Structure formats: structure tokens, C-alpha cells
Amino acid sequence: MDGRIEAGFRIQIRRLVAWTRHADVEGEVERLVERARLLTQAEGLGLPRALTRVYTELREQAARPAGAAAADERPPAAGWRPPWHRFDAAHPPRFLCDPSTAGLGRWLRAAGYEAAADASIPGHRLPEEALARGLALLTTEAEVLERRIVANGSLAVAWVPSALTMREQLALVMGDLALGLREPRCMVCGGALVAREKEAVRARIPPRTALWKDEYYVCSGCDRLFWQGTHWERIAPALAAAARGA
Ligand SMILES: [Zn+2]
């Protein structure tokens, strides 16, 4: 598994290094992968976490003005560009989750992003489906990064190594796409949550909850009733940490 994760990071690192117009792309990729290997020994990290750290540092450097300025000298031709360049607060990404990222998709909904999952679509068809629907593909499959529609910049892919925890994956995706926290969406179906008067939904509120909660929301997609209870008190700090890249 580590071999496939390293292959995925090599693709991600190579694209970012090339985007910053580094003079020796292949040499820099080898140097960074070697640095990750040294980290595994120096800090006892597994290779996926060491590569994640090296990649994240590279991404943060590339996103700084100096790195971005070098890349801006390129002609504005179509082609691969970093994921954080593709979206902004007015045009947030909407995700299509492959089956391996269904749980991560729930967290992204809690962070306020649409994240669809459709088990009826065969795995090999997901990239084309995402492209056709204007969605970013969320996946743990490194092979997807090699697809032509990804290499040429047509399809945005948020790739996360399967060896990371869900929270680590969430921090990686939110950093890659520079996502801030938005209004939470329904974690079950992704629908928008609409505030409702307590009295209007009182019949559906568990009696003990009604004693201490006054704000309620109904999902516009699945009609579930929500309130920010003890469950949310665990989720909210994790979302805030992921948005900070922690
Ligand atoms: Zn819902």
C-alpha cells in the first residue's frame, strides 16, 4: 500500500514543483521523497505521514507570493494547476466521493460542502462522471491522478492517502483546496439546513433535548431534524482544526 501512496505523492509533488517552474523538477522530486524517507527514520513516522508532511510544506511554499509569482509567468494556457487555484468562496468545490471516501464526505458536508456519493456508478467511471457533472473527485485511488483528464487540468481531484486518519485526510483536503468552514450541511445527504422555529418542530424534538436546546434545523434534502448537541460539540473543534491545517 505504501508503494501506491508514494506513487500518488510523487505525481502530486512533481506537478506542484513543475508549476513553480523549478529548474530541476525530477531532481527536486527525488530530493523531497528522500527527505520524507529521512523523516521516517528521524521521527519514526510511517512513510505516508512523512510524505504528507513534505507535500504539505511544499504546498505552503508554492502558495506563498514568491512561488505563485513564478508560476504566474507561465502563459495562461489550459493545463494542470494547483487545486486551491480552482475554487474560491464564491465558487466552492462540490465533491463526488468514491466509496473509499464516503466517511470523509460526511465530514466535508459538516464543513459546509456538497459531497455526493453514488454507489451505482462503477469505480472506473467516477472520473468521467465527476467531470460531466462539474464535481471534484474525492478519492484514495492514486491511479486516478494519472488519468489524462486530471493531468490536463480538466478534472479537479482531491486525493487523500488511505493510510491517514479521517481527520488527517480532512486537513489535507481542506489545505489542498484552501477551504474555509461554511454553514454546516446535512451530514447524511448533504442538503442545506434550514432554521426552524422550535414550536413548529416541537413534536419531533426528544423531550429531554427540548429542555435545553432552542435552535433547530431541518434538512432541505431528507427532512431530518437537527440541533447542535453533544455530537456537534465533538465535530466542531475537529472541523476548526482541519481548517487550520492541524
Ligand atoms: Zn439530509
**Mean of pLDDT values over 96-121:** 94
Q: 245 pLDDT band (50/70/90 cuts)? A: confident
Ligand 1 centroid from CA 187, angstroms: 7
Ligand 1 centroid from CA 16, angstroms: 37
Characterise 190 by phi-psi region: left (phi > 0), alpha (psi -120 to 50), beta (else). Answer: left
Ligand 1 centroid from CA 106, angstroms: 11
pLDDT at residue 82 above 60?
yes
pLDDT in tens, 170-191: 999 999 999 999 999 999 999 9
Q: 217 pLDDT band (50/70/90 cuts)? A: very high
The structure's pTM equals 0.91
For the chain, the farthest-separated pair of C-alpha atoms sits apart, in whole angstroms, at: 66
Ligand 1 centroid from CA 114, angstroms: 11
DSSP states along 29-68: HHHHHHHHHHHHHHH---HHHHHHHHHHHHHHHHHSHHHH
CA 43 to chain centre: 26
Interatomic CA distance for residues 215 and 4, integer angstroms: 46
Percent of the chain with pLDDT over 70: 94
pLDDT (0 to 100) of residue 5:
96
Ligand 1 centroid from CA 213, angstroms: 20
pLDDT at residue 75 above 60?
no
Ligand 1 centroid from CA 88, angstroms: 25
Ligand 1 centroid from CA 193, angstroms: 8
Ligand 1 centroid from CA 225, angstroms: 9
